[in-house]
Every structure is written in structure tokens, then in C-alpha cells.
């Protein structure tokens, strides 16, 4: 009887292992095929991931995860693209229009991130203040979070901010005040305009903003290449 029980338990554990998809180890409701993604878009067009370079022609991009110059030391994305869900993209376009009146513009540092990227990041840096826990996924996986900074439109030069992008430090927090007046003003300007258009700051990272109801959008694991073909 004991031996039989052992066999039952072993089979149960093994079949459990086989059921786990390494691309989705926590069994989250992730759209990881174009078929699933397109079905979601057909049902709710607001969940479409749109190319920011089409929504804001000439938008400045510096997608660090498409280069070696990021905290992992290797390129995570195969191309330097920024996709966001449609309402998020339009809100950002309104931000850009307002900034233009001041001679300023946005530079996008990261936008939609396929779930595979989140899995990989957490393996490298398992601290959930700065890197989303794959158990829940990142808001970047939903296409409703964006990392960005401000630039001068005439020179393309970045306005001075408290830290560089992805500085995993206390200085990156909105609560960190021991900074030059101009830096505090730049951070506050970005925050003020983003909040006006429906974005919410993430306290530990001055560069990260979530759109209103960000978590109501679906998690995705479709590649930039597939989105570009679409
Ligand atoms: Zn972010």
C-alpha cells in the first residue's frame, strides 16, 4: 500500500512538472501567440499594441534593452521599438503636444515588454522594487507602463534628472529631495504633465509611469517582430 501511495505521489508530481510551461511557469493568463493577441484586440480594440513611432512621428527613443547597455549586460529585445496600448499611446501623444509648446519633448526608454523579458530580468536581479516579480508580471507586459525622460527639442539633449535610467538606488525615488533645484524642477515637470494626462508615478523610479487602470489590460508575450508584421 505504501509503495502504491509513493507511486501515486510520484506520478502526480511528475505530471505537475510536465504541465508547467517554462514560458509561463506561474500559469498567468498571458496571450503568448499572435492568435490569442489578435482575438483580444478584436474583442477590445483598446488593447491593441501600437507603434509609438507611428503615433508620434519623430519621437525620440532610446531603448536600452535593445542594446548591451542595460543592467543585464545583454540585448533583451531584438529591435529598438516602443509599443503601447492604444489609449496609452494617445495620452502620451497629448503629453508630447503640450511639451512642444515649451520647446521640450519625450524620450521613451522602455514601453511594452514581452513577458519573456520579465522572466529573464528577475533571474538576473530578483528584487521586486526595481524588477517586476514574474509571479504577477510587470505592467510593462500589459503595454500600459512607460519609462521616459525629457529632452530639449532643438538639441535632443536630455534634461538633467536625479539618476540615469535603471539606477537601482534610493536617489531614483520621487521622495529623494537632496538634489539640485534644477533637477527637482525637471523631475516635477515630467511628473506634473504625465499626471495631467492620466499617468501615475511609481515612487521608487522617477522614469516609470503607469496609465490609468493599467492592470485591467492583458499580459502579453508576443515579440516585437510579430507586432511589426501585424
Ligand atoms: Zn518601467
What is the model's pLDDT at position 59?
97
Which residues participate in catalysis according to the annotation? 205
How many A from CA of 77 to the centre of ligand 1? Answer: 15
What is the model's pLDDT at position 20?
82
What is the model's pLDDT at position 123?
87
What is the model's pLDDT at position 2?
57
Indicate the CATH number for domain 2-229.
3.30.1380.10
What is the model's pLDDT at position 124?
86
Domain ranges of the chain: 2-229
CB 37 within 8 Å of CB 229: no
How many A from CA of 154 to the centre of ligand 1? Answer: 26
How many A from CA of 145 to the centre of ligand 1? Answer: 6
Could you list the pLDDT tens digit for every one of the 230 residues in the chain? 556 555 555 555 555 555 688 899 999 999 999 999 999 999 999 999 999 999 999 999 999 999 998 988 889 998 999 999 999 999 999 999 999 999 999 999 999 999 999 999 888 888 888 888 999 999 999 999 999 999 999 999 999 999 999 898 999 999 999 999 999 999 999 999 999 999 999 999 999 999 999 999 999 999 999 999 87
d(CA 173, CA 37): 34
List, as one string, the DSSP characters of 40-76: HHHH-GGG-EEEHHHHSTT-EE--GGGSS-STTSS--
How many A from CA of 12 to the centre of ligand 1? Answer: 39
How many A from CA of 168 to the centre of ligand 1? Answer: 12
What is the model's pLDDT at position 71?
86
Most distant pair of Cα atoms in the chain: their distance: 80
Amino acid at each position: 500500500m505504501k509503495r502504491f501511495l509513493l507511486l501515486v505521489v510520484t506520478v502526480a508530481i511528475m505530471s505537475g512538472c510536465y504541465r508547467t510551461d517554462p514560458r509561463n511557469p506561474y500559469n498567468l493568463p498571458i496571450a503568448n501567440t499572435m492568435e490569442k493577441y489578435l482575438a483580444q484586440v478584436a474583442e477590445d480594440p483598446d488593447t491593441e499594441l501600437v507603434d509609438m513611432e507611428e503615433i508620434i512621428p519623430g519621437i525620440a527613443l532610446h531603448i536600452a534593452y535593445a542594446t548591451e547597455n542595460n543592467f543585464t549586460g545583454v540585448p533583451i529585445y531584438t529591435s529598438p521599438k516602443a509599443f503601447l496600448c492604444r489609449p496609452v499611446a494617445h495620452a502620451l501623444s497629448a503629453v508630447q503636444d503640450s511639451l512642444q509648446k515649451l520647446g521640450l519633448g519625450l524620450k521613451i526608454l522602455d514601453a511594452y515588454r514581452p513577458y519573456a523579458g520579465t522572466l529573464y530580468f528577475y533571474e538576473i536581479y530578483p528584487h521586486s522594487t526595481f524588477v517586476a516579480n514574474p509571479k504577477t508580471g510587470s505592467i510593462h507586459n500589459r503595454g500600459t507602463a512607460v519609462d521616459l525622460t525629457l529632452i530639449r527639442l532643438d538639441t535632443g539633449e536630455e534634461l538633467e534628472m536625479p539618476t540615469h535610467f535603471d539606477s537601482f538606488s534610493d536617489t531614483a525615488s520621487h521622495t529623494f529631495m537632496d538634489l539640485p533645484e534644477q533637477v527637482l524642477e525637471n523631475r516635477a515637470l515630467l511628473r506634473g504633465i504625465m499626471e495631467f494626462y492620466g499617468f501615475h508615478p511609481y515612487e521608487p523610479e522617477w522614469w516609470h509611469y503607469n496609465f490609468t487602470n493599467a492592470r485591467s489590460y492583458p499580459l502579453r508575450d508576443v515579440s516585437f517582430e510579430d507586432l511589426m508584421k501585424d
